[in-house]
Chains A and B, each alone.
Chain A
Amino acid sequence: TQLLEQSPQFLSIQEGENLTVYCNSSSVFSSLQWYRQEPGEGPVLLVTVVTGGEVKKLKRLTFQFGDARKDSSLHITAAQPGDTGLYLCAGARTGNQFYFGTGTSLTVIP
């Protein structure tokens, strides 16, 4: 059983559309991270959120940490082909363990 569930698992959209990816758990995390991974490469950190209710923006990407620190969302505005990739969330619990979600594979069609 995965500690962090992401939805949807796959997403294919047209360039210019908006989308939201969800990362959900029944556990509380001290912080949550979002990564993007391209084929043949390792994940690259996009953002870390720490405080419940926190919202961070990175250009067209908006990240939100749930008030109870159990879930997070990633919203992309006006998606571009360069946004194509695998999006992973990762939650930190007490100690040194980070738990990764199952991933959302995004394809943006030109």
Chain B
Amino acid sequence: NAGVTQTPKFQVLKTGQSMTLQCAQDMNHEYMSWYRQDPGMGLRLIHYSVGAGITDQGEVPNGYNVSRSTTEDFPLRLLSAAPSQTSVYFCASRNTGGHGYTFGSGTRLTVV
């Protein structure tokens, strides 16, 4: 099993560009989340999904969109990149009611 797969690993964007961060899991987990990690701030929840067709906002949703058309995939879209979105992004999944997350290896995004 691959677990949670994130692509790309690294990305540089210009201000105003859009892009999609990909996330796929092969564990049949219902619950998937996107977090961003910034120095001294821990992990902050951007968006999450409790199942296909259902998404909701986390702590810092502005500037990001998500969709969940299948159980396996949960892409994160940056609509118009800003320097404040420079961060490391992690996708994670777990079973509903399960106690632990499985994380991907992250995408390091730089917006210039």
Q: Which residues in A have some Cβ–Cβ distance to B below 8 Å?
A: 2, 4, 6, 9, 31, 33, 35, 40-45, 48, 50, 88, 90, 92, 96-103
Contacts and interface: CB of A to CB of B under 8 A. Distances in A.
B35 A100 contact: yes
A42 B104 contact: yes
Contact of B31 (A2, A35, A96): A96
A64 to B, nearest CB: 16
* Category for how many chain B residues contact A: 20 to 34
Interface of B: 4, 31, 33, 35, 40-45, 48, 50, 58, 90, 92, 96, 99-106
Given A40-B105, A42-B90, A100-B35, A2 B42 contact: yes
A97 B42 contact: no
Contacts of B105: 40-42
Contact of B99 (A42, A48, A103): A48
